[in-house]
Structure 1
Amino acid sequence: MAKPLEQFHGSDLEKIEQIYGIKKENITSFSANVNPLGVSFRLRETLSSHIDAITSYPDREYTSLRNAISQYIKASPSHILVGNGSTELISLFIQIRHPKKALIVGPTYSEYEREISLGGGRSHYFSLKEQSDFSLNLEELCESLHTDIDLLVLCNPNNPTSSIITRSDMRKILDVCKQNDIFVMVDETYVEFAEHMEEITSIPLADYYNNIIILRGISKFFAAPGLRLGYAVCGNEDLIKEINQKKNPWTINSLAAIAGEIMFGDDEYKQQTTNLIHSERTRICNILASCPNIKVYPPSANFVLVKLLKEGITSSDLFDAAIQKGLMIRDCSTFPFLDNHFIRFCFMMPEKNDELLKVLLDVMK
């Protein structure tokens, strides 16, 4: 049985194809954390009718797009920045703030540390504890926020733990950061999948705090990573102005901008996604909880972190068993504070979820 030669990102289907000899078209990626419904229903029906938009430059200010986002997230258009995926906005923010010492709450997405390092800064981690199911200890975090730290990075819901920070707790964090002149970057890539999003999102806080920037995109919830459309919300007008001055013009192409406007208004799609993820998240976690060799950490996003408790079985073994069936999960052994007994997978359509559950339970029984 072939063993994975490296860790794979959810988009690395070509590498999987080369190593395992499985055509990428036959692989279901439970690693990419993308909405299993595919792109917006309304977008599918209408985008082609806007093809002539590519004959002219987009509006430099992306006014219509920002207004559509404003209606979707209930925030002022003047607080909204758009970019070529949230990655571009993270990079621009780091370049401008130029943090010398950042505190990252982890285990989490590695791109934050990479961007901080490229900007010449150092990253330190505040560890989420396994014994607390990777939920944040608010008191301990606040005690760690000193004046020598100039940036706090939070992913909410967090990847890969699927744990959350409520808005009320985020406000307490912001108060402490305000006292210590610390800026806070919050990545809300997965917040739309959360059951009680209105209690989690930090976007309303941008009206009251000038030391927070919230990042979102369309890659996961709207299943459109190829469009490269991201946005940020920030109430700090000086920072917004500086980012806009540093940004290259027209980094979002005309069709991507129009697609965003269409997707953000597709209420039927949003509701069906919410219903599907809630239903499958509950069903799958209940099934996994019945297996004594599996530890499930309570998920709030569209993915779940699992610990393998069976002696002699590692995350690499389970990755291998799943990929042989054309099912790609995430081996989490490369995340800080996780070892080779942790896996992560997202919730797909019920029949595919059943296929993965069978593999997982067969290996772990």
Structure 2
Amino acid sequence: MIKHKDHFHGSDLEKIEQIYGIKKENIISFSANVNPLGISPKLREGIKEQIDCITTYPDRDYVQLRQCIANYCSTEVENIIVGNGSTELISLFIQIQQPKKALILGPTYSEYEREIALCGGKTIYYPLREENDFVLDPAHFISKLSEDIDMLIICNPNNPTGTAINVHDMRLILDACKESDIFVMVDETYVEFAENVKEISAVSLTRTYTNIAILRGTSKFFAAPGLRLGYAICSNSDLMQIMNQRKDPWSINSIAVIAGTLMFTDEDYIQETRDLIKSERDRLFKLFDESTRFKPYKPQGNFMLLKILEDGITSGDLFDRCIRQGLMIRDCSTFPYLDEKYIRICFMNPEDNTKLASLLLG
């Protein structure tokens, strides 16, 4: 098992406030990877009008919410299950699958390994290589799959590298996993920020593969981490039946149900988000790519991994420099296979992005 160091999470603003003496409301978090537009206007107004929803229990089967998600994702309603954030569903899938040995693409989010360990399983990592700009070589990866692996976990686009696996390569991986009876869990938390969602998202593959489950949430793209609304897409009816039997009833509250039916249909907000992130992603990648101080890795989501090229400067140094100006970046030395030469920034509003870029590049 890889040892994970402590770090400041994007939500740890109270801890930052205590250590640095900066009021949390004055901190711009480039670490949380949350949509800078804030919540959907349609959601903001709709919740006010429907606040009385909390006087009744939500539909136990969440039919209307699941139908909205199915329409949004272009899939079938029977393949949708909702949960208290994607974290609940990740836990459930792992608890039910009970993998003795799981393979994870790294560096990545540490919660997967934690859940596997809690279920008594062992985790091994397949490292994305810096010499390949952290882009997966599907043929080499598939050659490392074996029948003693029970589960494969992929974050796509991957956090923190920002790289992604396209649908063609994901199909090859699924075919190989099917031969070795490996269940594949794909975390698509950041896929909605991608320029070409359909080229990266594996939702279309759930129609023909039953050995895959896709996890998504509303924390990042819809800027609603406090709502705790997540969902999974899987066409394995037996597995979905077990999931529904094991899941706590009413784990999604009435406000989250209403919120979901509103935000997933706010097409103007969805398009505005994608336009903003694409524009800032292209602009900031070009800025850092032209610098001699950093090497940026081509991002597919709403954040970018940067390698520090200057001698004598560490990720901790840059974190400290930025936070003292009220700008919180992610020190990536805590991720497996990364060291103190890597930081991650997410794309915020243009003015804030320019301020951060000037501080890092100036």
**Same fold? TM cut 0.5:** yes
Any residues of structure 2 matched to 1:271-282 within 5 Å, and which? Answer: 271-282=271-282
- Give me the whole-angstrom Cα distance separating, in 2, the residues matched to 1:221 and 1:271: 11
Q: Deviation at 1:358?
A: 1.1
Note the alpha carbon deviations across 1:238-289, whole angstroms, 9 max, x for none: 0000000000100000010110110000000000000000000001111111
Take 2:137 and 2:118, find their aligned partners in 1: how far apart are those partners? 29
SS in 2 for 1:32: coil
1:52 corresponding residue in structure 2: 52
Task: Specify every segment of 5 or more residues in structure 2 that has no aligned partner in the other structure, as ranges.
Answer: none
**Whole-angstrom CA distance in 2 between matches of 1:222 and 1:193:** 10
Unmatched 5+ stretches in structure 1: none
Following superposition, the deviation at residue 331 of structure 1 comes to 0.1
Verify: 1:114 aligned to 2:75, yes or no.
no
Q: Give the match's secondary structure for 1:338.
A: coil
1:91 aligns with 2:114: no
Quick one: which amino acid aligns to residue 203 of structure 1? V
Q: Which moved more, 1:65-74 or 1:43-52?
A: 43-52
Give the distance between the partners of 2:94 and 2:119, measured in 1 at CA.
7
Write out per-residue CA displacement over residues 123-145 of structure 1, whole angstroms, 9 at most, x where no aligned residue.
00000000000000101110111
Report the Cα distance in structure 2 between the residues aligned to 1:236 and 1:217, rounded to whole angstroms. Answer: 20
What CA distance in whole angstroms lies between the structure 2 residues aligned with 1:86 and 1:210? 19
Instruction: Output the amino acid matched with 2:309.
Output: L
Give, in whole Å, the separation in 2 of the partners of 1:41 and 1:267: 11
Alignment of structure 1 residues 180-199 onto 2, 5 Å:
180-199=180-199
1:308-343 deviations in whole A, cap 9, x for unaligned? 010000000000000010000000001000000000
C-alpha distance in structure 2 between counterparts of 1:17 and 1:140, whole Å? 45
TM superposition score normalised by structure 1: 0.97
Q: 1:352 — aligned with what?
A: 352
Match of 1:16 in 2: 16
- Displaced runs of 4 or more, over 6 A: none
Q: Is the 8 A contact 2:6 2:334 kept in 1?
A: no
How far residue 44 of structure 1 moved from its aligned partner, in angstroms, is 1.2
In the aligned structure 2, how far is the partner of 1:289 from the partner of 1:79? 41
Aligned to 2:203: 203
Rounded Cα–Cα distance in structure 2 between residues aligned with 1:85 and 1:7 = 22
3-state SS of the aligned residue for 2:284? helix
| Identity within the alignment, % | 61
- The answer to whether the 8 A contact 2:293-2:361 is kept is no
Distance 1:198 1:336 in 2: 29
Name the Cα RMSD after superposition: 0.8
What is residue 131 of structure 1 aligned with on the other side? 131
For residue 146 of structure 1, what is the aligned residue in structure 2? 146
Contact kept in structure 1, 2:27 and 2:328, CA below 8 Å: yes
For residues 106 and 166 of structure 1, what CA distance do their matches in structure 2 show? 17
| Equivalent runs, 1:309-328 vs 2, <5 Å | 309-328=309-328
Matched, 1:101 2:101: yes
Task: Report the counterpart of residue 339 of structure 1 in structure 2.
Answer: 339
Corresponding residue number in structure 2 for 1:37: 37
Question: Matches of 2:24 and 2:231 in 1, distance apart?
Answer: 30
Q: How does 1:151-166 map to 2 (within 5 A)?
A: 151-166=151-166
Q: Which amino acid aligns with 2:64?
A: S
Task: Compute the TM-score of the two structures, normalised by the length of structure 2.
Answer: 0.98
Is 1:298 paired with 2:295? no
Hey, what's the Cα distance between the residues in 1 that align with 2:74 and 2:335? 34
Shift of 1:305: 0.1
Structure 1 residue 45: deviation in Å? 1.5
Residues 77-135 of structure 1 show CA distances to partners (whole Å, capped at 9, x for unaligned) of 00000000000000011110000000000100000000000011000000000000000
CA contact (8 A) 2:9 2:32 kept: yes
Instruction: Name the CA distance, whole Å, in 2 between partners of 1:359 and 1:139.
Output: 40
